[in-house]
Amino acid sequence: MNLHEEVSRIKTMMGVITEDEVTFPIIKSGSYSTAKNGKGDCDTFHSFNDNGKKEIGGMNRKVNEVLMDVYNKGFNPDITAVDVEMNSDTMEVKWSVTINKSEDGNAWTGLYSRGGGAMSQPGGYPDNLSPTSGHASIKNSKTSNYILKRGTPDKMVPVNIFVHSPKKGCRVKQIFYKYTLKEYPTLEEKVEKPKEEPIEKLPIGKPEPLQRYNDDIEIMLGKPTTPTPKKDNIISRLFNK
C-alpha cells in the first residue's frame, strides 16, 4: 500500500470528507472601517486583525479558522493570494484571501501580517519595512504572542507585500505572511505506524524452599516423592547375617 492509499484509508477510518466534497479554491473575505477614529489614525487604519488591545479587522482569526477547518478535514491548506483595498478618504478596508490545497508539501495553517501606517511622504516610514528588517520582518513576526498562543512557528513566507500610497491621507505598508506550525504537521507526516501491543507478562510464583525428608526419599522442591526401590543383593545378605 503506497502513501496516498494509506492516507485515503485513514481519512475513511476517521470519517473525513473526501476531496470531491471540498471545493477549492476557498475565498474568505471581510471588511472594516475606522472612520470613527478620524482620518489621522493610521495605526488603527492598518489593524487588519487587531491593534494590540482589541480586534479591529479580525482578518487573521477569520482566515485561520478556515485554514484549520480545511486541515481537520484531511487536507494540507495553502494561502495562494491575499488581496486588499484601502481608501484613505473613507478609512474603509476590504480584504480577501484565497485558500487552496497545498501543492508544495507544507501545511500552511496560519495567516499573519505586520506593517505600518503614517501621514508621510514616499520614501519614509513605513516604506522601509521589509521581511528581512524592522518590526515586520519574519524574525520578529515569529515572536508574536498571537502566533505563539497557537503553537510553534516553523516556516514563514510573505504572500503579499502590500503598499497603499495615496496622494493624501494615510500611507500603509503591510506584509502578509503564511506560516506553518510544528504542532500541525502535514497529513503525510501525521500518518503514524501502528503501535505494537505489549507482551503480557506471565505471573511468576515464589519458589518453595528446599526441604529434606527421610534418607529413602528423594529430595525435590519442597515435595516428597515415592522412594526408588533398592535392588536385592543376595550375596550381601548371606555374608551379613
What is the tens place of the pLDDT at every residue in 80-91?
999 999 999 999
Q: Which of 145, 148, 48 lies closest to 92 in space, CA to CA?
A: 48
Q: Which of 183, 163, 185 lies closest to 174 in space, CA to CA?
A: 163
The residue-averaged pLDDT of 24-52 equals 97
Q: pLDDT tens-digit profile of 39-71?
A: 999 999 999 999 999 999 999 999 999 999 999
Q: Is the pTM of this model over 0.85?
A: no
Q: Outline where DSSP puts E strands in the chain.
A: 26-33, 77-87, 92-101, 110-118, 153-164, 171-181
Least trusted range by pLDDT, from 65-79, 172-186, 195-209: 195-209
Share of the chain above pLDDT 70, in %: 71
Q: SS3 for 95?
A: strand
Give the integer Cα–Cα distance in Å for 123 and 201: 75
Residue 142: Cβ within 10 Å count: 17
The residue-averaged pLDDT of 208-213 equals 59
Can you list the alpha helix ranges (DSSP code H) found in 73-204?
Answer: 138-141, 145-148, 187-190
Give the integer Cα–Cα distance in Å for 59 and 29: 8
Give the integer Cα–Cα distance in Å for 33 and 111: 21
Q: Is the pLDDT of residue 8 over 70?
A: no
Q: Is the pLDDT of residue 219 over 90?
A: no
Please, which pLDDT band fits residue 166 given cuts at 50, 70 and 90?
A: very high
Nearest-5° angle of CA 84, CA 184, CA 192? Answer: 150
Least trusted range by pLDDT, from 127-141, 184-198, 216-230: 216-230
Q: Which of 90, 87, 74, 86 lies closest to 113 in space, CA to CA?
A: 86
Q: Which residue has the cell 501580517?
A: 113
